Amino acid sequence: MEIGIFSGSFNPIHIGHLALANYLCEYEGVDEVWFLVTPHNPLKEEAGLMDDGVRLKLVQRAIEGYPRFRASDFEFSMPRPSYTIHTLDALRERYPDHRFHLIIGSDNWQLFPRWYQHERILREHRLLVYPRPGYPVEPASLPSSVRLVQAPLFDISSTFIRQALAEGRDIRFFLHPAVYEELLQSGSFLPR
């Protein structure tokens, strides 16, 4: 099977993540998208990161009922900080019958030279780069292992979601209803 690996903090997961993953399954030849909840991205601050288990639960709630999505805690047992190359190697070893495609935004593609062992990732793995507003990518400049997908642009970020919730704004339509309800019940990001 062709598996899209959507690795991220998902702090919290929002409709932009879900719509993109749905697009990749329906239009880009990906059989399933696995949402790998990342314990800590070495290029991001850990402050303000919800508990690993809470973020995983929110992903599970968001994808319930859609058979082509899978929530994964695969990286929870890996050494921290988590490096993508180690995750991809471990996935390939554990699931030799699958072909994995790393899903990243064009904003991360611009940072890609800073990733640990990025040359080896390009040499040994496939990447799907989706557009992000303000981060254009020239398709002709991409290595053969990288494909730019023509997914719709979603100018939504988890940072925006956290800020809006902290300000007490009703942004229920930016989140899956189960995620919004869970965040309201838990009081996560709400003003104190």
Domain boundaries, the chain: 2-153
165 or 2: which leads in pLDDT: 2
In tens, the pLDDT along 69-80 reads 999 999 999 988
* pTM of the full structure: 0.92
Check pLDDT > 80 for residue 82: no
Q: Which CATH superfamily is domain 2-153 in?
A: HUPs (3.40.50.620)
pLDDT band at 187 (very low <50, low <70, confident <90, very high): confident
* C-beta separation of 38 from 7 below 8 A: yes
Mean pLDDT over 10-29 rounds to: 97
Mean pLDDT over 46-75 rounds to: 92
pLDDT band at 45 (very low <50, low <70, confident <90, very high): low
pLDDT band at 192 (very low <50, low <70, confident <90, very high): very low
99-105: strand order across its sheet: 69-72, 32-37, 2-8, 99-105, 126-130, 146-148
Helix (H) or strand (E) holding 7: strand 2-8
Check pLDDT > 60 for residue 190: no
Q: How high is the mean pLDDT of the chain?
A: 92
**pLDDT of the residue at 41:** 59
In tens, the pLDDT along 110-166 reads 999 999 999 999 999 999 999 999 999 999 999 999 999 999 988 899 999 999 998
Any idea of the CA torsion for 144, 8, 136, 123, to the nearest 10 degrees?
-20
